Amino acid sequence: MKEKGLLIVLSGPSGVGKGTVRKEIFSQPDTSFEYSISMTTRAPRDGEVNGVDYFFKSREEFEALIEQEKLLEYAEFVGNYYGTPVDYVKETLEKGKDVFLEIEVQGARQVRKKFPDGLFIFLVPPSLSELKNRIVTRGTETEDVINNRMSVAKEEIEMMNLYDYVVENDQIDLACERIKAIVVAEHCRRERVEPRYIKMLEVE
């Protein structure tokens, strides 16, 4: 029987670079994971496309999805709902493909309960001051919101021991390489792939 795919969850504090690293991974031609497009009630930003960046929903539509148990997990983040469509994730894993979720920490916790065998990766900043720099540089938040996010970030970072791996996002390309290497290593470990070198030795 074909192995089921691996559920890969990338999470970490707000502003650490989850979205940036995820976009970089999916822009690389050798990436073989499937990205699960989330549902959200937040308004589309300039250039964002429905069904590509997110499935944009009204609050009523989102609450109906919760009611119908169509979401693997969901969370309210800065006044908006975000959630992962459960059917897409299950069907894609069933086909033997790896599914990649990029979600905030409350959602990751819910996924861990439902998929204890998932691969949970926590992205950390090089330092708290660098995290603050990134949130400030992104320029989407006021001073008050930034201070609030920093105290939430400290609590979020304390949750990193719930994860299988911690990856530092010092440089975007290095963080991507680390994540991809972890996925390859996990596949070998879980599937106990007979390394082709063993076959080579048997022949000789």
Ligand X SMILES: Nc1ncnc2c1ncn2[C@@H]1O[C@H](COP(=O)(O)OP(=O)(O)O)[C@@H](O)[C@H]1O
Q: Report the interface residues with ligand X, using CB under 6 A.
A: 12, 14-20, 134, 137-138, 169, 171-172
| Contact window for ligand GDP (CB under 6 A) among 13-21, 26-34, 114-122, 176-184 | 13-21
Interaction between residue 102 and ligand GDP (CB under 6 A):
yes
| Contact window for ligand GDP (CB under 6 A) among 27-35, 62-70, 103-111, 186-194 | 103-111
List, in sequence order, the alpha helices (H) in the chain. 18-27, 59-67, 86-94, 105-114, 128-138, 143-158, 172-191, 196-203
The residue among 155, 160, 153, 106 whose CA lies nearest residue 129 is: 153
- Assess contact for 81 and 59: CB atoms under 8 A: yes
The per-residue DSSP string of 111-136 comes to HHHH-TTSEEEEEE-S-HHHHHHHHH
User: Given candidates 7, 9, 25, 83, which one binds ligand GDP under the rule CB under 6 A?
Assistant: 83
163 DSSP assignment: S
Compare residues 16 and 93 and give the one whose CB is closer to ligand X.
16
**CA torsion 100→105→106→107, rounded to 10°?**
0
Interaction between residue 84 and ligand GDP (CB under 6 A):
yes
49 annotated ligand binder: no
For the bound state, the minimum distance from the C-beta of residue 203 to ligand GDP, rounded and expressed in Å, comes to 48
By DSSP bridging, strand 99-102 and strand 34-35 are parallel
Interaction between residue 104 and ligand GDP (CB under 6 A):
yes
15 annotated ligand binder: yes
- Pull the structure tokens for residue 55: 């499935």
- Assess contact for 160 and 123: CB atoms under 8 A: no
92 binds, among ligand GDP, ligand X, none (CB under 5 to 8 A by kind): none
18 annotated ligand binder: yes
Closest residue to ligand X in the complex (CB): 17
For the bound state, the minimum distance from the C-beta of residue 131 to ligand GDP, rounded and expressed in Å, comes to 13
For the bound state, the minimum distance from the C-beta of residue 204 to ligand GDP, rounded and expressed in Å, comes to 50
- Assess contact for 20 and 172: CB atoms under 8 A: yes
5 annotated ligand binder: no
Interaction between residue 107 and ligand GDP (CB under 6 A):
yes
14 annotated ligand binder: yes
Feature table: binding site: 12-19
